[in-house]
Chain A
Amino acid sequence: MLAFILRRLLVAIPVLILLVVVTFVLMYAAPGSPFATERGVPPQVLANLEREYGLDRPFLAQIGTYIWNIVSDFDFGPSFVYRDQDVNDLIAQGFPVTLTYGFWAFVLAVLVGGTLGIVAAVRQNSWLDYLAVGISIGAQVLPNFVLAPILVLIFTLWLGWLPGGGWQGGQWEFVIMPVVALGTSFMASIARIARASMLEVLSSNFIRTARAKGLPGRRIILRHALKPALLPVISYLGPAFVGMITGSVVIDIYFSTGGIGQFFVASALNRDYGVMMGITVLLGALTILFNLLVDIAYAWIDPKIRY
């Protein structure tokens, strides 16, 4: 197992380099420039800016320098738009925020969603099942850009219980609404996947055998059915966690949390090449890491799985 993990981590390096190259090509092919403004920048000023950021150098030299600075100093360079900030600063400031509410949203989604799904499957076609399915669908169909303003209207304007946005170092009253708004739809998805996969496992032969042998229901579910039923849920969780990070753009916009989510959209719209690259590499690393964790979890659940 250790060799497998090491091998995967080693492979991550060329994968990330490939990612950097592809992203560079995309950024340069897209129209626009980080320095373009409505009134246009005089050529002389533009030349100074391009020299400052090394954009006047050959394409390959730019990629080379970029990668070298990361490898040697872990330096992701300057932001092209936020002149006072380095990419490292921006990520160091925003990522913990995103990670904090992302983590709680994830916990909420997994615990509530997983429980709902399993209960619904075990009591298939009972009122509990219908309730769980109803809740999960109801949560799924409210897109978070509708849910977020509703939450603020209710809890900030009408009830006055929670602040309408901000982060303030992550005090609990600032964290609640982002977590709920972000976690809800994932919770619903997890519930549905868990229910479907549990149903599938419950109808499989070995569970039927166990039932036939007269084992108690609770024991069958906890000892035998739960683990295999988790497999599809875990497949979903890897991409889902990464999806939460990218999906946090709506949260950052509506709740002013200062997370990195909004950079996914803003840095592309502003053509802030530095920040765009930085968060792309970060997202790539997270994707690789979570997919690795998922694979490790597979092996734990089903020892017969070989890679």
Chain B
Amino acid sequence: MQRFTLLASTAFLLTAPLAPTAFAAQIAEGDTLAEDQTFSYSLLDQFPTLDPQLNEEVQGSHIIAQLFEGLTRQDADGNVIPAGATEWTNENNTVWTFKLREDARWSNGEPVTASDYVYAWRRAADPETASPYAWYVELSSIEGAAEVVAGEAEPETLGVEAVDDHTLKVTLTQPLPFFPAVVTYATFMPTPQTTIEQHGSDWTSPGNMVSNGAYTLAELAVNEYFRLEKNPEYWNADEVIITEVTGYIINDRNQSVTRWEAGEFDMMDDLPAGTYPDLLEQYPDETFSTPRLCSYYYAINFSESGNPALQDVNVRKALSYALNREVIVDQVLKGGQSPAYNFAHEATAGFEMPEIDYAAWSQSERMERARELMAEAGYGPDNPLDLDLIYNTSDSHKAIATVAAQMWKPLGVNITLSNYEWQSYIDIRGEQNFDLARSGWCGDYNEASTFLDLVTTTHGSNDGKYSNAEVDRLMTESRTMDDPNEAYTQVEQILADEMAIIPIYHYTQNFLLDADIRNWPMNNVENNWYIQDIYRAASE
């Protein structure tokens, strides 16, 4: 059930701790620092929480990563580097011992000790806390985690222990060579017990919050903005250059672009669909597109509620072949996304793309083949096939679905488009009330199994109910393989041969960033960033 398996190719980087060099803002040669060292950006939505143990989404975790510091964090390329811990050792990748930094302090001046981590980790698993992300503790294979989350054991039985003030020992139920990568996430960041017990759920308010990261929370107005200030108690405060971080919540992306153009803030990500090329032309030094570990695809309903025609591999192949992905990425999305013919993102660490035949064909070849396959299956313009395509309300989903429907029309496929608001959509898709369903998946960690597990028979998010014994076997075996990537390539080959899903594109992260901001982590495919690493150069 757990799904971290071996990150084999990247694991060697993680198991050997790097020299504990402080990784903070390194000023490039020739740059002078600007007078004003503030950074501001826009967020699409109000984040639900700043409590590390309760957080479950991206926008909140970006802020938490500035406010709190866990045992480890990532560098600009996504490698794991020391943070709250200076070094770590392990026995059989099962018992992990972390040496904590002795000069780490909370923003109230108290030292950060191993018991702060123990408290936080128990808190994350404790049913009393009711964290929606408790499953992450379970996923990390810490001894006793599953029982604690299920309420069958006391939180004190969790396999984490403060050996002394600066030594943390963690016991896992199975070898996990990349455990230091797991603990970069907010769930495993320490939290201040006395503050939480004093203020209850209000402990994350400005004025109450005590944190151990490079910044502290200064102001927060729900649905409007928040402001962070440099934390003078942070152990590496001397090398933190940006003094203030402001985030503006702007619910409308187009509005956000206008305000960025007006110079109201430095960075916005998640650009409106189709605007990237124009912005790139207007602001060539400030518009970026970097790979992002997510895949976009249409799930095919294999269950009884789906159209029976979809059981025919020829129909599925024809549908996939007829989709002109170049048109979708180059003319509809226009954000540097890459056309996808497989599931796992091409930039996934260590992943080797299989040889997928139709990826190399020209679109006219694909179209010709699609027509033949449809004819073989007994469908065509004279005997049309009616399919229902569902998507959740969004401009880009709508655009892709509309274009796809027109691409399928020459095959004699009549598509009924149905959009639903998000919650109804999850419900309807989860109950297999569709033929084809818009789906997307972002990697939880940088390894192909984070994608490929989704097509195993028992996975909770396998909404198409695809089931193949060979895929299940390969994915189970991959967990104990030295190099699972071979198995992943095989799985991808089966998915392509059977057309288990219709892959459409691999994501990119599109964003606007003020030209004076330096050291932005462009190569971090998981989109993790730390403001303490960046700085603002003086404009020439």
Whole-angstrom distance between the Cβ of B283 and the nearest chain A Cβ? 14
Give A268 to B404 CA distance when docked, in angstroms. 30
Provide the B216-259 mask, 1 if CB < 8 A to any CB of A, else 0.
Answer: 00000111110000000000000000000000111110110011
Residue of B at shortest CB range from A49? B130
Q: Taking the complex as formed, is B323 at the interface, i.e. its CB lies under 8 A from any CB of chain A?
A: no
Q: Beyond A45-B135, A83-B201, A84-B50, is A256–B224 a contact (Cβ under 8 Å)? A: yes
Interface: B112 (CB within 8 A): no
Say whether A58 faces chain B, with CB atoms less than 8 Å apart.
no
**Chain B residues with CB under 8 A of A135:** none
Q: How far is the CA of A149 from the CA of B253 in the complex (A)?
A: 11
- Given A83-B51, A166-B248, A258-B221, verify A39-B460 contact (CB < 8 Å): yes
Interchain CA distance A153-B433 in the complex, whole Å: 43
Q: Of all chain B residues, which has the CB nearest A270?
A: B423
Closest to B126 in A: A48
A107 at the interface (CB under 8 A from B): no
A269 and B422 contact, CB distance less than 8 A: yes
Of the candidates B54, B135, B205, B223, the one whose C-beta lies within 8 Å of that of A252 is B223
User: B151, B205, B251, B422: which has the most chain A beta carbons within 10 Å?
Assistant: B251
Do most interface residues of chain A lie in helix, strand or loop, or is the interface mixed?
A: loop
How many chain A residues touch B (Cβ–Cβ < 8 Å)? 52
Pairwise interchain contact A38-B461, C-beta atoms closer than 8 A: yes
In the bound complex, do residue A252 and residue B251 qualify as a contact, i.e. CB atoms below 8 Å apart?
yes
| CB neighbors of A among B420-468 (8 A) | 421-424, 426-428, 430, 440-441, 460-461
- Contact among B54, B441, B460 with A83 in the assembled complex (CB-CB below 8 Å): B54
Binding site for B on A (CB under 8 A): 30-33, 35-42, 44-45, 48-49, 51-53, 78, 81-86, 90, 93-94, 148-149, 152-153, 156-157, 160, 163-167, 252-254, 256-259, 262, 269-271
Instruction: Known A-B contacts: A84-B49, A271-B423. Give 9 more (CB < 8 A).
Output: A32-B426, A38-B426, A39-B461, A48-B151, A93-B221, A156-B258, A164-B259, A252-B223, A269-B423
Shortest CB-to-CB span from A83 to chain B, Å, is 4
B3 CB → nearest A CB, Å: 11
User: Given A38-B426, A157-B262, does the pair A82, B49 have CB atoms closer than 8 Å?
Assistant: yes
**What range describes how many residues of B lie at the interface?**
35 or more
Q: Chain A residues near B423 (CB, 8 Å)?
A: 30-33, 36, 269-271
User: Which residues of B sit under 8 angstroms from A94, Cβ to Cβ?
Assistant: 222-223
- A248 CB, nearest partner CB in chain B, Å: 12
A48, B127: Cβ atoms closer than 8 Å = yes
Contact (A258, B49) CB under 8 Å given A152-B258, A165-B255, A252-B251: no
- Give the complex CA separation of A39 and B451 in angstroms: 12
Q: B506-534, CB under 8 A of A: which get 1 and which 0?
A: 00000000000000000000000000000
Q: Contacts of A45 on B, CB cut-off 8 Å?
A: 131-132, 134-135, 149
Indicate if the CB atoms of A49 and B132 lie closer than 8 Å.
yes
B150 CB–A CB distance under 8 Å: yes
Q: Identify A40's interface contact among B151, B202, B460, CB under 8 A.
A: B460
| Complex partner residue of A149 from B135, B254, B262, CB under 8 angstroms | B254
Chain B positions within 8 Å of A84 at CB level: 48-51, 201-202, 204-205
* Nearest CB in chain B: distance from A46 CB, A: 9
Residue of B nearest to A160 (CB): B262
In chain B, what residue has the closest Cβ to A41?
B132
User: Is the C-beta of B266 less than 8 angstroms from some C-beta in chain A?
Assistant: no
A163-B264 contact given A51-B127, A149-B258, CB 8 Å threshold: yes
* Top 8 closest pairs, chain A to chain B, by CB: A32-B423, A258-B224, A52-B130, A31-B427, A164-B259, A83-B49, A40-B460, A48-B127
A94 to chain B, nearest CB (A): 7
Instruction: State A282–B514 Cα separation when bound (angstroms).
Output: 42
Contact A44 B149 (CB under 8 A): yes
Q: A256 to B46, alpha carbons, bound, how many Å?
A: 10
Measured between alpha carbons, how far is A34 from B456 in the docked complex, in Å? 27
Contact B221 A81 (CB under 8 A): no
Residues of A with C-beta under 8 A to B222: 82, 85, 90, 93-94, 258
**B16-51: which residues lie under 8 A (CB-CB) from chain A?**
46, 48-51
Proximity string of chain B (198-214) to chain A, C-beta cutoff 8 Å, 1 when within and 0 when not:
00011011000000000
Known: A157-B258, A252-B251. A78 touches B201 (CB 8 A): yes
**B56 lies within 8 A of chain A by Cβ:** yes
B365, chain A: closest CB distance, angstroms: 35
**B261 contacts the other chain (CB 8 A):** yes
Selected from B135, B249, B424, the residue in CB contact (under 8 A) with A32 is B424
With the chains together, A257 CA to B221 CA distance in Å? Answer: 10
Rounded to whole Å, the gap between the CB of A262 and the closest CB of chain B is 6
Distance in angstroms between the alpha carbons of A85 and B134 in the assembled complex:
20
Cβ contacts under 8 Å, B49 to chain A: 82-84
Chain A residues whose C-beta falls within 8 Å of the C-beta of B264 in the assembled complex? 156, 163-164
Of B221, B224, B259, B440, most A-chain CB atoms within 10 Å: B224
Q: Say whether B259 contacts A165, CB under 8 Å.
A: yes
The smallest C-beta distance from B255 to any residue of chain A, in angstroms, reads 6
Q: Which residues of B contact A259 (CB under 8 A)?
A: 223
Residue of B nearest to A36 (CB): B426
Instruction: Give the CA-CA distance A45 to B146 in the complex, in Å.
Output: 10
What are 22 sample pairs from A and B whose C-beta atoms fall under 8 A apart?
Answer: A36-B426, A41-B132, A42-B135, A42-B138, A42-B460, A44-B134, A45-B131, A45-B135, A48-B149, A82-B46, A83-B49, A84-B49, A93-B221, A94-B223, A152-B255, A156-B259, A160-B262, A164-B259, A252-B223, A256-B249, A262-B251, A269-B421
CA distance A82 to B226 in the complex (A): 15
CB-CB under 8 A for A164 and B426, given A84-B201, A252-B223, A262-B223: no
User: Distance in Å from the Cβ of B6 to the closest Cβ of chain A?
Assistant: 22
Q: Please report the C-alpha to C-alpha distance between residue A258 and residue B251 in the assembled complex, in whole angstroms.
A: 11
Q: Determine how close the nearest CB of chain A comes to the CB of B205; give it in whole angstroms.
A: 7
Query: What is the chain A residue whose CB lies nearest that of B224?
Result: A258
Q: Which of A44, A152, A153 contacts B150 (CB 8 A)?
A: A44
Distance in angstroms between the alpha carbons of A233 and B246 in the assembled complex:
44
Contact A258 B428 (CB under 8 A): no
Across-interface contacts of B202 in A (CB, < 8 A): 84
In the complex the two chains form, what is the Cα distance from A228 to B143 in whole Å?
Answer: 78
B223 and chain A: residue at smallest CB distance: A258
Given the complex, which residues of B lie within 8 Å of A41, measured CB to CB? 132, 135
Known A252-B251, A254-B255; contact A48-B262, beta-carbon cutoff 8 A: no
Q: Which residues of A contact B430 (CB under 8 A)?
A: 40
Q: What B residues does A156 contact at CB under 8 A?
A: 258-259, 262, 264
Q: Who on chain A is nearest to B137 by CB?
A: A45
* A residues near B460, Cβ cutoff 8 Å: 39-40, 42
With A31-B423, A94-B222, A153-B258 in contact, is A37–B201 under 8 Å at CB? no
Please, how many angstroms separate the alpha-carbon atoms of A257 and B202 in the complex?
23
Q: Output the nearest chain B residue to A250 by Cβ-Cβ distance.
A: B252
Interchain nearest-CB distance for B462 vs A (Å): 10
